[in-house]
Amino acid sequence: MAASKIRERESLVSVIAAEIKAGRTVGYTSGVFDLLHAGHVDYLERARAQCDLLIVGVNSDASVGQLKGSKRPICPALQRMAVVAGLACVDFVFEFSEGNNNRNIELLKPQIYFKAGDYIREKLSSAAIIENLGGKVVLLPFTDGQSSSSIIDRILARFAADTPHSDPPTVYARRPAIFVDRDGTINEHVEHLHEAQKFQLIPGALEGLKRLRDHGYPIVVVTNQPGIGMGYFSKEEFFTVNRELLKAAAKIGLEIDRVYFCPHNKADHCYCRKPSTGMIARAEREMNIDVARSFVVGDMTLDLELARAAGCRSVLVHTGRGGKDGNFSNAADISVADLGAAADAILALDEKICAIDECSRN
């Protein structure tokens, strides 16, 4: 039964045309569907409830590697299609290799194109195509769920101790860290920044981080980069921008200890995407970070919510979006003009705590 649903893309053109001619509504969506989970099923069932026939495109193995890195997919395309085809809410499945859905829409001409996640209609190159064909884009709301990436992360976290290592891991003394956002905090905010020539440091930002690093705080950059998962730019382009950051840091003698990034969008329900705490949990695990004494520094209420969820102290800088993103209503523990002022405030707080500790010992 499931095998009969798997078709070549071109063979579905006449099937869809006949369904539409018969007065039925045809919907289309696509995805990687690497490790099928409850979030996938809920999304596909809600899509099927709005149409009479649901067609699903599954990314080829090569295109998944481009979107999510060379270690993905976990399951090859034929297996992923077989699992999706096994769902009662799915009528037909096909594999495609393009990096977007433009060709799929042009060929199949569905009446509804379903998308999930933090996609913006104006940024969907295929939106104009389907609307010119008389169809429409439907953005389905998010629901709580899992993601393939978070499942993989949980497996790695739980079974890492059972994996043999050729070298013993570095043993770090337990200490607090500075978890710092990148875009809008260290460098000027540019939407989906991926061009090195557009990278521009905020004055005094790296100097502030250096003072904190010299004081003993590891510097850990934590940044959401959903443009990678949404296909706006590649990981290599993200690394190119990061190279500019690291080169600038090296010029003033600043060592940045880690750069953690989440390439996923909200639809992936990823454990590492801020304000979820996956990146901080990774730092705690890998670097023996004292999270309760650490600081999260950023320009968005998203960063304040990350601090609250992780149990860190929060610092809002008024560069970038300056806390006006409107995602959360949390108040910052410290609110300052920029990263240089954030360093001053954190170090002043340290001196105050040290003075209190000295008085208590005496």
Residue pair 33/79 in contact (Cβ under 8 Å)? The answer is: no
Q: What is the mean pLDDT of residues 241-258?
A: 95
Give the pLDDT mean for 220-235: 92
On whether the pTM is more than 0.75, the answer is no
- Parts of the chain belonging to CATH 3.40.50.620: 3-145
CATH for 3-145, options being 3.40.50.620, 3.90.1640.30, 3.30.70.20, 3.50.50.60: 3.40.50.620
Question: Nearest 5°: CA angle at 28, between 54 and 65?
Answer: 115
To the question of domain 162-361 being in CATH 2.60.40.10, the answer is no
Burial 272-282 (b: 16+ CB within 10 A, else e): bbbbbbbbbbb
Task: Specify the 3-state DSSP secondary structure of 259.
Answer: strand
Q: How confident is the model at residue 22 (pLDDT cuts 50, 70, 90)?
A: very high
pLDDT digit string (tens) for 43-75? 999 999 999 999 999 999 888 888 777 788 899
| Residue 105 scores a pLDDT above 50 | yes
pLDDT band with cut points at 50, 70 and 90 for residue 271: confident
pLDDT at 359 over 60: no
Share of the chain above pLDDT 70, in %: 90
User: How confident is the prediction for the chain on average, in pLDDT?
Assistant: 89
CATH 3.40.50.1000: which residues of the chain? Answer: 162-361
pLDDT at 362: 40
